[in-house]
A and B are shown apart, each in its own frame.
Chain A
Amino acid sequence: MKKIAAAGLIIAMLGSVLAGCSSGGKSGEDAAKGASPGGAAESATYPLKTDEKLSYWGDITGNLVGVKASHDEIPFFQKWQEKTGVPLEFTAPPAGQSKEAFNVMLASGDLPDMIEYNFIGDFPGGPEKAIKDGYILKLNDLIDKYAPNLKKYLQEHPDIDKMVKTDSGSYYAFPFIRGDEYLRVFQGPVIRKDWLDELGLPVPETIDEWTTTLRAFKEKKGAAAPFSVVSKPRFFNESGNGAFIGAFGVNRGFYQEDGKVKFGPAEPGFKGYLQLFHDWYKEGLIDKNIATADTKAVDSNIASGATGATVGNAGGGIGKWQPLVAANDPKAVLVAAPYPVLNKGDKPKFGQLNQAYASEGTVGVTTGAKDPALAVRMLDYGYSEEGHMFFNFGEEGVSYTMENGYPKFTDLLMKNPDKLAPAQAISLYARSSYNGPFVQDKRYAEQFFALQTQRDAVEIWRNTDAAKYNLPSITPTPEESSEYATIMNDINTLVDEMTIKIILGTEPVDQYESYVAKMKSLGLDRAIEIQTAALQRYNSR
């Protein structure tokens, strides 16, 4: 009896294996059929007329976490469908897990029509590989035929056109473009101005001044964690933009100098940075729990006055902390400090400066799309004049009013009756406070930065040489991408470990050289070679 049952089981098993073989090969052919009826090259008139419902996968902005749970509850997305005339069915990954959810979605092979994702930053191998592997469509022909607004914009802005394309000249997504330089800087050192005034100190500019300042915060103001920064998942995330690290002439990743690509942690300047933070930590100038400090911990340290200096954003940083800290101490004022340098009068080498094309919030059309032409026409709306106003300011009469030709956000957004912060309220009606397939308008930021300190901050943080040293958004070739990822994965783990261990004093600063040797043995030179080639390809686009 037992044996017979087992025999039956095996037969059934074989059957299921064979059944499995036959499925799984489809979906590739769908990519070929691109054209749909009625595709004229001239501007489409919105709303489009269609009965088709398209599916759309994308993150809900962090601004709305805890406010709205799905796209359908957000007025912007409802209006977007109305204005374009294309009904959409949204899927959103759980907050903070878009990468994992995206991964699972791809593995399932069941693709929606459109995907909003960062194909450069968060897709291993980059957009070229995403096209080659057959997830998203190469959009060149479709944009030519069905996206006159985007096409016009790119023709008028050849420098952005260069960023939006891949090395081989493929368009792969509807880009998010920061329409003005003013929108590209939003992060830097932040410090308690009221404490500085009280202690008779200037806003620190050099590293030595910073040391003096932090010491004074600790000794005279009783700050338990004078300097604290978000360190999840890695120590001092924001140092990626070169805050403090930049004073030593390096940053946390790759940069270019004298026509060469360099990796910051392997350059001698990095040791100076480690030494400084090691000394600061030892002296108690840095948060004792720094290795586990997440956003929540840093927020509460700043609010309670345990921390007097950090690195943060104008909107999500100063804008968020100012009311918190003022609630505890009415005199408290947070202001921006310039990116620190070693010698007074130097211009900071690095600082946060995003590319005009930031690669997040871009929308690709997948190979599974039922009607790619319709998706493209619908996405082109964001680059039309009407769409520009809608994406940046929402709907006239509701979220903004025109005053002398200037779109002014209404009180519904700026002084929200439900006590939502402006960043949150704007995200309900428009997308200018985060990203998406459109060109961001400077006039949003002018109003969004409600505090004078925020507007000043952007001007202070702008003063760096980052544009000269930062690498543009380059990607390895699809062939090199997995080799590059393997090398950099190991090296990044090593750098993360080295940085925090040396700073916390678990290992002496002298160990730095041995870590650099390890980076070399893990293939750093090869990674630099790949990056150099990628930069050359970019420059010759």
Chain B
Amino acid sequence: MANRQSFLSRLVRDFVLNKYLYIMMLPVIAYYLVFHYAPMYGALIAFKDYSPMKGIMGSDWVGLKHYQDFFGSYYFWRILKNTILISLYTLVFEFPAPIILALLINEVRKKKFKRVVQTITYMPYFISLVVICGIITDFTNADGVINHLFMFLGYDGQAMLQKPDLFRPIYVLSEIWQRIGWESIIYIAALMSIDLEQYEAARIDGASRLKQMLYITLPGLLPTITIMFILRMGNLLNVGFEKIILLYNPVTYETADVISSFVYRKGLLEFGWSYSSAVGLFNSVINLVLLITANAISRRVSQNSLW
């Protein structure tokens, strides 16, 4: 009891002492409450048969029915596999790309060239996804630019988006093209914070530029890379459906259909709000677990972590 009173009095004292800090904090707290915590209550509909006219509370409870439907679905294993594979390929091939680009840009001494390269590489990021996918579709057509290139080299032209085997490479490569410039910005910024004296010292010791990169630049970047990696892990199951549904067609379903596109076809078009929420919640839980695991491993191994 004594302890609690002291807690309360400490609380009051703290408020009085730091009242301006608390007031300044209010908008931020309100933001999180309104936009991040309040909507969580809506996740309840994952366990209900939601009907907007009855409201969230008024809808009937159905327990785990939507989860059973999802896990029991004929396509469950396929979409899970596709989601994980596309995510992993992106992680393996797309994640390192901006790091490499940042390192390369860092080595360039000509200011002008550097800026030109940066502008060109992050341009695609600002183009609407619909346009990007239109470009991809045109380029990969049987008579598209890419096929003309292959035909010039003596191969047969083929409509690439009609080949299930090619879907993932097309997806990942276009992902790299789209995001490499934008994502490299954060690494370039991190590079700026590396102490120049270290390089000077290294040069005096006779380290080559490659050595400098390996022993100064990369270790300096490592905390940023780790953080980005952990954050990426937290999105492993979120393969965005926009790009998928703009690029896939029934021939490529077997390699391209992911959880989100499946839910789009099933949940959104069929008005299955509860079903989509159930799958969304499942995704979030898995993602959270992955995030925590990655964070824990990283803290253990490299002392870098989110918390």
Interface residues as binary, B36-63 with A (CB distance below 8 Å gives 1, 0 otherwise): 0110010000000001111111100000
> A133-B51, A499-B250 are known contacts. Are A291 and B159 too (CB-CB below 8 A)?
yes
User: Could you tell me the distance between the alpha carbons of A17 and B40 in the complex, rounded to whole angstroms?
Assistant: 9
Task: Tell me whether B253 is interfacial, beta carbon within 8 Å.
Answer: yes
> For residues 475 through 499 of chain A, which have their beta carbon under 8 Å from a beta carbon of chain B?
485-486, 489-490, 493-494, 496-497, 499
List 21 interface pairs A-B (beta carbons < 8 Å), by A numbering: A7-B11, A17-B38, A20-B56, A100-B269, A106-B52, A106-B271, A109-B55, A124-B272, A133-B51, A133-B53, A135-B53, A289-B143, A289-B159, A291-B161, A292-B141, A292-B249, A489-B270, A493-B253, A493-B265, A497-B250, A506-B164
Least CB distance, A96 to chain B, in whole angstroms: 11
Residues of chain B within 8 A (CB-CB) of A496 are 250, 253
For A231, the chain B residues whose CB sits under 8 A away are 249
Complexed CA–CA distance, A107 and B276 (Å): 13
Residue of A nearest to B245 (CB): A233
Q: Tell me the complex Cα distance, A28–B254, Å.
A: 44
> Is A501's beta carbon under 8 Å from chain B?
yes
B54 lies within 8 A of A134 (CB):
yes
Is A151 interfacial (CB-CB < 8 Å)? no
Chain B residues with CB under 8 Å of A499's CB are 250
Given A9-B29, A17-B41, A25-B57, answer yes or no on A1-B18 (Cβ-Cβ < 8 Å): yes
Nearest A residue to B141 by beta-carbon distance? A289
Alpha-carbon gap, A5 to B15, bound state (A): 10
Once the chains bind, are A25 and B58 in contact (CB under 8 Å)?
Answer: yes
Q: Does B266 contact A (CB under 8 A)?
A: yes
Within 8 A of B (CB), among A2-51: 4-5, 7-9, 12-13, 16-17, 20-21, 23-25, 27-28
Q: Using Cβ atoms and an 8 Å threshold, which residues of chain B touch A27?
A: 53
Q: A16-B33, A504-B162 are in contact. List 5 more A-B contacts (CB 8 A).
A: A5-B25, A106-B52, A108-B52, A292-B159, A485-B270
Contact with A along B18-34 (1 / 0, CB 8 A): 10000001000100111
Q: Tell me whether B135 is interfacial, beta carbon within 8 Å.
A: no
**What is the interface of chain A, defined by CB distance below 8 A to chain B?**
1, 4-5, 7-9, 12-13, 16-17, 20-21, 23-25, 27-28, 99-100, 103, 106-109, 123-124, 133-135, 224, 231-235, 288-292, 367, 485-486, 489-490, 493-494, 496-497, 499-501, 504, 506, 518, 522
Structural contact, B74 and A490, CB atoms closer than 8 A: yes
Contact B268–A522 (Cβ < 8 Å): no
Q: Chain B residues near A367 (CB, 8 Å)? A: 53
Return B32 CB to nearest CB of chain A, in Å.
8
Is B251 interfacial (CB 8 A cutoff)?
yes
A232 to B75, CA, bound (A): 21
Contact of A103 with B74 in the complex, beta carbons under 8 Å: no
- Give every chain B residue within 8 A of A123 (Cβ-Cβ): 271
> Is there an interface contact between A288 and B251, defined as CB atoms closer than 8 Å?
no
Q: Which of B11, B41, B69, B142 contacts A4 (CB 8 A)?
A: B11
A24-B56 contact, Cβ under 8 Å, with A16-B37, A291-B161: yes
Q: Quick check: B250 and A288 within 8 Å, CB to CB?
A: no
- CB nearest neighbor in A for B266: A489
Q: How far is the CA of A8 from the CA of B33 in the complex (A)?
A: 11
The yes or no answer to B238 lying at the interface (CB within 8 A) is: no
**B73 surroundings in chain A (CB, below 8 A):** 490
Cα-based distance from A25 to B270 in the complex (angstroms): 24
The answer for the CA separation of A153 and B271 in the assembled complex, in Å, is 34
Complex contact A1–B14 (CB within 8 A) = yes
Cβ–Cβ contact B137 & A489, under 8 A: no
A291 lies within 8 A of B249 (CB): yes
* Residues 190-219 of B at the A interface (beta carbon under 8 Å): none
B171 touches A (CB below 8 Å)? no
Number of chain B residues close to chain A: CB under 8 A = 46
Distance in Å: Cβ of A495 to nearest Cβ of chain B: 9
B273 within 8 A of A: yes
Across the interface, do A292 and B161 meet the contact criterion of CB distance under 8 Å? yes
In the complex the two chains form, is A490's CB within 8 Å of B33's CB? no
Q: Which residues of B contact A12 (CB under 8 A)?
A: 29, 33
Cα distance A125–B51 in the bound complex, in angstroms: 13
- Among B253-293, those with CB < 8 Å from A are 253-254, 265-266, 268-273
- Report yes or no: B251 in contact with A291, Cβ–Cβ below 8 A: yes
Scoring B55, B74, B250 by chain A CB atoms within 10 A of each residue's CB, the highest score goes to B250
Q: Chain B interface secondary structure, helix, strand, loop or mixed?
A: helix
A490 in contact with B250 given A133-B51, A134-B51, A291-B162 (CB within 8 Å)? no
Contact A13 B52 (CB under 8 A): no
Could you say which of B33, B34, B53, B56 contacts A134, with CB atoms under 8 Å apart? Answer: B53
**CA separation between A31 and B93, bound complex, in Å?**
57
Interface residues in chain B, defined as those with a beta carbon under 8 Å from any beta carbon in chain A: 10-11, 14, 18, 25, 29, 32-34, 37-38, 41, 51-58, 69, 73-75, 137, 141-143, 158-159, 161-162, 164, 249-251, 253-254, 265-266, 268-273
How far is it, in angstroms, between the C-alpha of A134 and the C-alpha of B54 when the chains are bound?
8
Closest to A523 in B: B74
Known: A103-B268, A292-B159. A20 touches B38 (CB 8 A): yes
CA of A289 to CA of B265, assembled, Å: 23
B18 touching A292, Cβ below 8 Å: no
CA distance A30 to B187 in the complex (A): 58
Residues of A within 8 A of B159 (CB): 288-289, 291-292
Please report the C-alpha to C-alpha distance between residue A504 and residue B272 in the assembled complex, in whole angstroms: 33
**A522, B53: Cβ atoms under 8 Å?**
no
Chain B: minimal CB distance from A37 (Å): 27
Contact (A4, B52) CB under 8 Å given A16-B38, A497-B251, A497-B254 = no
- From A21, which residue of chain B is reached at the shortest CB distance? B57
Compute how far the CA of A13 lies from the CA of B268 in the bound complex, rounded to whole angstroms.
Answer: 29
Of all chain B residues, the one with the shortest Cβ separation from A496 is B250
CB-CB under 8 A from B272, the residues of chain A are 124
Chain B residue nearest to A486 in the complex (CB): B69
Contacts of A490 in B (CB 8 A): 73-75
B98 to chain A, nearest CB (A): 30
Q: Which residue of B lies closest to A503 (CB)?
A: B251
Q: Shortest beta-carbon distance, A128 to chain B, in Å? A: 14
* A154 to B254 alpha-carbon distance, docked (Å): 49
Bound CA span A490–B270, Å: 12
By a CB distance below 8 angstroms, the chain B residues around A106 are: 52, 271
| A214 to B149 alpha-carbon distance, docked (Å) | 29
Known: A20-B41, A25-B57. A4 touches B253 (CB 8 A): no
Q: Which residue of A lies closest to B161 (CB)?
A: A292
In the bound assembly, the distance between CA atoms of A250 and B56 in angstroms comes to 44
Q: Are B74 and A234 in contact (CB under 8 A)?
A: no
Contact A489 B265 (CB under 8 A): yes
Residue numbers in A under 8 Å from B141 (CB-CB): 289, 292
Give the distance to chain A from B241, nearest Cβ to Cβ, in Å. Answer: 12
Q: Quote the shortest CB–CB distance from B249 to chain A (angstroms).
A: 5
CB of A500 to closest CB in B, whole Å: 5
Residues on B with C-beta less than 8 A from A506 are 164, 251
Please give, as numbers and ranges, the residues of chain B lying within 8 Å of A13 by CB-CB distance. 33, 37
Q: Known contacts A13-B37, A235-B250: does B142 contact A109 (CB below 8 Å)?
A: no
Contact of B162 among A5, A103, A135, A292 (CB under 8 A): A292
Closest-CB distance, B13 to chain A (whole angstroms): 10
Q: Which of B34, B38, B251 has the most CB of A within 10 A?
A: B251
On chain B, the residues within 8 Å of A289 by CB distance are 141-143, 159, 162
